[in-house]
Structure 1
């Protein structure tokens, strides 16, 4: 059955910590209401698996490490392996997504098979192809997104033999995508690959040290950049400054502690790296919309 998700759990490198299916059937389906995520968005993360998303209602703003897109109801997107991405709703009170995350082996078959070598690896191993958008107003885009929808429905219903149908529909989606991007220069070098590596390293440093009083200088030194270049790289890729990201990350950790522990707000404030409970409360309300004490009361019901 599909899984309703309201939070993305990542490790210190922002890699999503999740078992996507089983070794026998490496695929998982998610139904998500973006506005019901704790922070109101799906935070920056990445995973080895491939992800396809169909916007069921509303619209989303999808950010990658080198670009961003607006996707409306009925549009879909393919996100390649190991691509850093972030999603928030776009001008909508309700924004729901149907998502499938799967390992390439689901459609590639055995190692060094003709499917893997000729059709799957040319996409998955191409570091310059982060995403493919399936717009509903294009013939092939509609065809690809319809296959995603069919795969999601089969997974949701989980009737006898659904695994075969999910694999079949995702293979059809892959074929449509591959056939229609042949005119793209997939060997073109991207200047953003270096930025992506830098961002992943900086996020790793922040996640290891978020509870300390780290500065822009500390972050820039972790990747041997000047403060100015560090700031530019961060803002051009993630859209916010390193310091704003640190604050938001601290708040996300605090949210879990408020829900899962009985520690006092003062203790939580200190644990996640804030100088004072009053400043913690101010920043928490900025991101979550309520004070820490109000959030804790709500989460106990």
Structure 2
């Protein structure tokens, strides 16, 4: 299963259902370049995620951090963390294992051995070192889960549960020390609130003050948040989001570039064309012809 069109709600929460028929688990292969936007856009989900790179190299952003992952690298992304991925090699392929935190261990063990770790603010992500035995063990288990789902053999669900228990044990025993900061929690909550507001109002006239107000911040603090966490300005993020929203509209039969520009919040078709060309290396009309 390859997800090529990421759908997120107004809070950037991914809407994809990460599960097999009977379990809240999904394991699938993803080629970043095949995504409808040519990259994996910023999103989050409640599931914990393991990314095992099979080919190429990608730049993955998790909250405010960025790291390059190349062939053979395995990355853990914690529950609720904003993340995105951009292909650095034009052929990056990775296995993605998503698991509901409540399915990692029996419910009686959740409060002691799962909840503190998915709530930890010092661990948005972690590169798993395959030269360490525990890192190699986790990678081997991810590959085994992929095989089990594909083969669908008798009692494979029980085998998957065993592998997940082993993965989580290896991770919390070796991977990190727990830290919790209310300041970090508040920071990312405000960031999601501002992104949520942009996603609800992008087609309207939007000012920096509007975005800052959504996060209960001053204009300067708002800019600092965006620069630190997303490596961009609030207005540049707004423009990029408008451009992303224009892509499916341009693919509609009979759509008009000027009409699309106004629908996604640009008050000038020439400005829309300029920003689109800078981002996509082609004009909106060329993109429309290519996709239709």
Check conservation: 1:152, 1:166, Cα contact below 8 A: no
| 1:189-220 deviation digits (Å, cap 9, x = unpaired) | 37433321111011011001101121212111
Q: State which of 134, 137, 141 in structure 1 corresponds to 2:131.
A: 137
Provide the C-alpha distance between the structure 2 equivalents of 1:207 and 1:34, rounded to a whole number of angstroms: 23
Q: Are the structure 2 counterparts of residues 136 and 289 from structure 1 closer, same or farther at C-alpha, using a change threshold of 3 Å?
A: farther
1:230 to 222, 235, 243: 222
Is residue 2:145 matched to residue 1:151? yes
Number of residue equivalences:
292
1:239 aligns with 2:231: yes
Q: Which residue of 2 aligns with 1:173?
A: 167
User: What residue number does 1:253 align with?
Assistant: 245
Match of 1:19 among 10, 17, 20: 17
Q: Is the 8 A contact 2:243 2:276 kept in 1?
A: yes
Deviation at 1:14, TM superposition (A): 0.6
Question: What corresponds to 2:94 in structure 1?
Answer: 97
TM-score, normalisation: structure 2? 0.91
Structure 2 counterpart of 1:270: 262
Q: In the alignment, which of 76, 79, 82 is matched to residue 81 of structure 1?
A: 79
Note the aligned Cα RMSD (angstroms): 2.1
Which residues of structure 2 form unaligned runs of 5+? Answer: none
Distance 1:266 1:66 in 2: 35
Partners of 1:39 and 1:287 within 8 A in 2? no
Q: Residues 132-162 of structure 1: CA distance to partner in whole angstroms, max 9, x if unpaired? A: 2212333322221221122123223444443
Q: How far apart in 2 are the matches of 1:187 and 1:47? A: 21
TM-score by length of 1: 0.89
| 2:290 aligned with 1:298 | yes
1:180-195 → structure 2 map (5 Å cutoff): 180-181=174-175, 184-189=176-181, 191-195=183-187
Gaps of 5+ in 1: none
User: 1: distance between equivalents of 2:262 and 2:63?
Assistant: 32
The match for 1:108 is: 105
